[in-house]
Structure 1
Amino acid sequence: MENKNFDIIIIGGSYAGLSAAMALGRSVRNTLIIDSGKPCNRQTPHSHNFITHDGKTPQEISTLARDQVAAYDTVKFHDGLVLKLRKNDDGFETETSSGEKFYAKKLILASGVKDRMPDIPGFAECWGISVLHCPYCHGYEVKNEVTGILSDGDMAYDFSKIVYNLTKDLFVFTNGPSVLSKEQKNKLAEKNINLVEDEVEKIEHQNGNIRKIIFKTGKEISLKALYAKIPFEQNINAFEDLGCELTEQGFIKVDFMQKTNIPGVFACGDNVTMMRSVANAVAQGNFTGAVVNKELSEEEF
């Protein structure tokens, strides 16, 4: 790539990044998308709750999006992983794993997050297929089926309320002695939600589809789906070089205009919100692209 200077560099070429790029491409902004090609939903067979694309594979949606964005000749792509970010007199410098450097007036961080899998055999293989993070994205497909929730405490209790609307055949697995309050346990029992405090040994599955949960006590419970809330980390940490702040939950901190605490640096998508869905990422990216274009327009006028 001959040109190394851009108006905007977008770090992350999945749904939020591509959506921001389309808004900027249509605003005739010289834009570079840097992406390493490892979206968090690459194992998920179907994407749902995104109007006009309901039921398509994540790959179908992202491929179509990339093709449409590439039609705007001011948008360019670079395959790589950003390792370093620096502020300079004219804006920002990015350095990728290949050692290449690119420069821009503005940065959009759309790099997403990566999930930290628990040490349970079979969990990672089922993640996004039958071990699910979101009832809005996947719950309809397993409604009225035998379902589990792998969580504890307030998170498990609150999540049970949402999943209970989809199925009454529900288990809560706390993977050890529960920290649920007496009142919470009583409410679960009143709703016939089964509380299991045994430690999980492994998940038995076939090609990522759960067959049963096997516990260290020898107990086995057959399931169709399992919801789990697991820890995550930012996909890249290069933004820390710039001094971008994180929230207590580990998300990049942004204001209502998707601005970080560093002037000229914006963020959108899974790296800023717990609402992890394709539809939400697309909406945030579209809005962020418009905000960045407006800021550039005001500075250049």
Structure 2
Amino acid sequence: MNSAQYDVIIVGGSYAGLQAALTLGRSQRQVLVIESGMPCNRFTPHSHNFLTHDGKEPHIIAAEGREQLKNYSNVKFLKDTVLQALQFDENFEITTIFENRITARKLLFATGISDIMPDIKGFEECWGKSVIHCPYCHGYEVKGQITGVFGNAENGFEYVKTVSHWAGKVTLFTNGPSLLNTEQAQKLAANNIAVIETPVTEVTHAQGQISGVVLSDGITADLSVLYAHTAFKQHCDIPQTLGCEMADTGHIKTNGYGKTNVNGLYVAGDCCDPLRSVSSAVRGGMAAAAFLNKELINEDF
């Protein structure tokens, strides 16, 4: 008989982790959710494009999820931070910052990513409010406004092309010499999208609401919204230390349903999914939990 305290430990108690806990709780698994209280979208005042929750504050959605999970006595919560995870025999053992040592048959990391802000004054203060990353999450609320896109090369071209569907006047800020090819530059010009290569030194704003960007030559470009894809790192590096393969994008590789190359270790949410939305995180949590539960069934049958 397996001596693990839990069937599954879920590291991360935001949307992917909560949905995974719900799926596993309903699958009659003994589950522990360890959460540190630092969700990726904590800077965003409202969540959009999630059916039945459109426009809600993100922390309200998470609170409703935790409340519903109280109906499942086999799902427990622990406010803590995981420091280490070891794999031995058929189990995992995790150690936390408060010196808890807990074992489980499987681990599911839903720990998200940490954005790395560019060294531009005012950028971080506007992040998630008026400096945003996703038109599907926020584009409707800023449709038709004076819009900037922070990007370059192929990714910048595709980004500004997509954003232009929602935006009014659009400008691409390459933050240095343009790496667009001739065809891309001509295409933007044909669609009245200006390209500014002068580096951005400041985002001007009032309480996180952008009013423009200041360029290194002193000129200010007026804006109502700025789209930007920031660099990021994994919020938790424990999956990597356990041997998880990483994609070139910086995400954890999976089979498409949360299973990693490390036996018994699953992931869900922003740590492995570039779509980066609440609805996508919920889908990932459900899929990973279902595949994980099937693995447990196969082992026990």
Report how far residue 257 of structure 1 moved: 3.1
Give the Cα separation in 1 of the matches to 2:113 and 2:103. 24
SS of the residue 1:136 aligns to: helix
SS in 1 for 2:103: strand
**Over residues 37-74 of structure 1, what are the superposed CA-to-partner deviations in whole Å (9 max), with x where a residue is unaligned?**
00111110110000000000101101101111132100
Amino acid at match of 1:9: I
1:24-103 aligned at under 5 Å gives the runs 24-103=24-103
Question: Taking structure 2 as the reference length, what is the TM-score of the superposition?
Answer: 0.97
Displacement of 1:4 after TM fit? 7.8
Q: Deviations for 1:73-130, whole angstroms, at most 9, x for unmatched residues?
A: 0001111221111001231011112221111000111111010000001111100000
Deviating 4+ runs (over 2 angstroms):
none
Aligned match of 1:271: 271
CA contact (8 A) 2:116 2:230 kept: yes
**What residue number does 1:169 align with?**
169
* CA displacement 1:140-179 (0-9 Å, x = unmatched): 0000000000011111100111111112400100111111
Q: Structure 2: which amino acid aligns with 1:260?
A: T
Counterpart Cα distance in 1 of 2:171 and 2:142: 14
Does the 8 Å CA contact 2:257/2:284 hold for their aligned counterparts?
A: no
Instruction: Please give the alpha-carbon distance, in whole angstroms, between the structure 2 residues aligned to 1:213 and 1:242.
Output: 43
Q: TM-score, normalised by structure 1?
A: 0.97
Residue of structure 1 equivalent to 2:16 = 16
Give 2:192's aligned residue: 192
The answer as to 2:254 corresponding to 1:254 is: yes
Is 1:86–1:241's contact at 8 Å kept on the other side of the alignment?
Answer: no
Cα distance in 2 for residues equivalent to 1:84 and 1:109 = 12
Q: Write the letter of the residue equivalent to 1:104.
A: A
**Do the aligned partners of 1:6 and 1:103 also contact (CA within 8 Å) in 2?**
yes
Could you say what secondary structure the match of 2:221 adopts? strand
Report if aligned partners of 1:198, 1:217 keep a CA contact under 8 Å in 2.
yes
Secondary structure (helix, strand or coil) at the match of 2:175 reads coil
Alignment correspondent of 2:139: 139
Partner residue, 1:237: 237
**Cα contact 2:143–2:168 (8 A) shared by 1:** no
Q: Secondary structure at the match of 1:288?
A: helix
Separation in 2, partners of 1:176, 1:198: 6
Percent identity between the two aligned chains? 45
How far apart in 1 are the matches of 2:168 and 2:154? 19
Pairwise CA distance, 1:300: 1.5
Aligned to 1:202: 202
Give structure 1 stretches of 5+ with no counterpart. Answer: none
**What secondary structure sits across from 1:45 in the alignment?**
coil
CA contact 1:83–1:236 (8 Å) conserved in 2: no
Aligned-partner residue type, residue 27 of structure 1: S
What runs of 5+ residues in structure 2 fail to find an aligned partner?
none
Report the alpha carbon displacement of residue 230 of structure 1 after superposing the two structures with TM: 1.1
Contact 1:84–1:241 (CA under 8 A) maintained in structure 2: no
Aligned partners of 2:74, 2:80: CA distance in 1, in Å? Answer: 19
Equivalents in 2 of 1:256, 1:114: separation in Å? 22
